[in-house]
Amino acid sequence: MSQAPGAQPSRPSVYHERQRLELCAVHALNNVLQQQLFSQEAADEICKRGPSTLSHQGHAGDPEMSPVLAPDSRLNPHRSLLGTGNYDVNVIMAALQGLGLATVWWDRRRPLSQLALPQVLGLILNLPSPMSLGLLSLPLRRRHWVALRQVDGVYYNLDSKLRAPEALGDEDGVRAFLAGALAQGLCEVLLVVTKEVEEKGCWLRTD
């Protein structure tokens, strides 16, 4: 599989894009889908016109078929005013919807043992991330999108700020990682599932 401009070769079977600008949402989408389907241009188009059907090349389809997220204006609420990314959850959800997938917010009040991981395509976490200016750490935090995905039976942390994918192990490993992230507070977990799984609610174990 070819690598995106911001991607680094790591494990042969694991696709991992590295951080560029404020494009962590784009990287999280591509990492959770394990291929380069979205670009900054595609995300900007979604900000203005909503989800669109992507061709196999990953280009946006007919925008007239998609609902509008926000008007085509400089003050778009779904991205950075500077045009460097920083996309919000609406862009991620719309992008996945355009591929026929669905998203479900995980209720952090539920025990993670109820999460039916085999029914989940991947996970996208929203975490607070410290800011820095050169070597100087700033007392500010921005939101950062991180993808988790199983590849060949192993779950990986595909954070675009990592130099390479971080193996989390089996289901117990990913649950431990999620528990640690949720325990720190200010962490939200978005489940990426098929439409069928969303409709049946089988991402949640009831036994």
Question: Does the active-site annotation cover 159?
Answer: yes
Total length of the chain: 207
Which member of 16, 72, 144, 172 is catalytic? 144
Domains belonging to the chain, first-starting first, are 24-51+82-200 (3.90.70.40)
Which member of 16, 24, 44, 88 is catalytic? 24
Residue 138 has pLDDT above 50, yes or no: no
Question: Does the active-site annotation cover 59?
Answer: no
- Threshold 0.85, pTM exceeds: no
d(CA 50, CA 60): 11
Query: For 107-118, how does the pLDDT look when each residue is reduced to its tens digit (9 = 90+)?
Result: 999 999 999 999
DSSP state of 77: T
Higher pLDDT, 159 or 19: 159
Query: For 24-35, how does the pLDDT look when each residue is reduced to its tens digit (9 = 90+)?
Result: 899 999 999 999
d(CA 72, CA 76): 7
**Residue 85: partners with Cβ closer than 8 Å, 6 or more residues away:** 21, 22, 23, 24, 25, 26, 40, 43, 79
Report, as an integer, the average pLDDT of 89-113: 92
Residue 121's alpha-carbon distances to 24, 80, 92, 130, 203, in angstroms, are 19, 28, 15, 28, 10
